[in-house]
């Protein structure tokens, strides 16, 4: 991750997940990451829907960057045709496999200059009878860009969060006189 905001959001997400693969959505407190909220978003993932992922919440800087309110819009629709299939596959990996992803993007500004951006996608813990959701951050690597056109995926990688050492519980039981077995539990 190159962008300081991506690094800060990932550190917060990693802290909130504890020993789980992903944190509960309710564990996120917006006030704790208020300086990042303008660049962040929450997506609702529906595998059966043609739209796949749609914005539930989008930060103000993100909306200004793309020149419109994004709530309810398909995330994949932000991408140019050649990148759309790839971003849909990446969203599926994050939502269904609880992987984190970092991607490099580019977009063209109205005056023709190319802007480079960083995308961070982080899953939330799956809940029964609820659609999968994820959070993320989209921030330009250059300052001051607005009203960008279609996004192009230039690179991406997924990461599995590092497991945290948990406290191992031992259960002691006697199998026979003079023979004790210690069974480890996670």
What's the pLDDT tens digit per position in 14-23?
Answer: 999 988 889 9
Residue 185: is its pLDDT beyond 80?
Answer: no
Instruction: Say how many residues make up the chain.
Output: 186
What's the pLDDT tens digit per position in 103-149?
Answer: 999 998 888 889 999 999 999 998 776 778 999 999 999 877 778 99
What's the pLDDT tens digit per position in 49-98?
Answer: 555 799 999 999 999 999 999 999 999 999 999 999 999 999 999 999 99
Predicted confidence band of residue 166 (pLDDT cuts 50, 70, 90)? low
**Residue 101 φ then ψ, to 5°:** -140, 145
- Alpha carbon distances (Å) from 176 to 171, 179, 180, 181: 16, 5, 7, 9
Q: What is the pLDDT of residue 112?
A: 86
Residue 169: is its pLDDT beyond 60?
Answer: no
Helix H segments across 22-115?
Answer: 60-66, 81-97
Higher pLDDT, 46 or 70: 70
**Residue 40 φ then ψ, to 5°:** -95, 165
Domain count, the chain: 1
Domain that holds residue 142: 4-185
Residue 174: is its pLDDT beyond 70?
Answer: no
- Which secondary structure element, helix H or strand E, spans residue 102, and what is its range? strand 100-108
Predicted confidence band of residue 150 (pLDDT cuts 50, 70, 90)? very high
Q: What is the CATH number of the domain that holds 162?
A: 3.30.450.20
Average pLDDT over residues 37-60: 87
Q: What is the pLDDT of residue 127?
A: 79
Burial 78-109 (b: 16+ CB within 10 A, else e): bbeeebbeebbebbbbbbeebbbbbbbbbbeb
């Amino acid at each position: 991750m190159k962008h300081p905001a991506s690094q800060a959001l990932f550190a917060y997400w990693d802290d909130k997940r504890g020993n789980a693969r992903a944190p509960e959505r309710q564990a996120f407190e917006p006030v704790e990451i208020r300086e990042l909220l303008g660049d962040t978003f929450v997506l609702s993932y529906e595998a059966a829907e043609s739209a796949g992922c749609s914005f539930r919440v989008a930060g103000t800087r993100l909306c200004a960057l793309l020149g419109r309110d994004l709530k309810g819009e398909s995330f994949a629709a932000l991408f140019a045709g050649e990148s759309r299939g790839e971003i849909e596959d990446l969203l599926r990996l994050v939502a269904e496999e609880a992987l984190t992803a970092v991607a490099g993007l580019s977009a063209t500004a109205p005056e023709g200059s190319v802007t480079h951006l960083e995308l961070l996608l982080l899953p939330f813990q799956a809940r029964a009878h609820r659609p999968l959701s994820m959070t993320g951050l989209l921030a330009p690597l250059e300052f001051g860009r607005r009203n960008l056109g279609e996004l192009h995926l230039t690179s991406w990688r997924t990461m599995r969060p590092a497991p945290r050492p948990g406290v191992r519980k031992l259960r002691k039981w006697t199998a026979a006189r003079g023979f004790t077995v210690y069974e480890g539990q996670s």
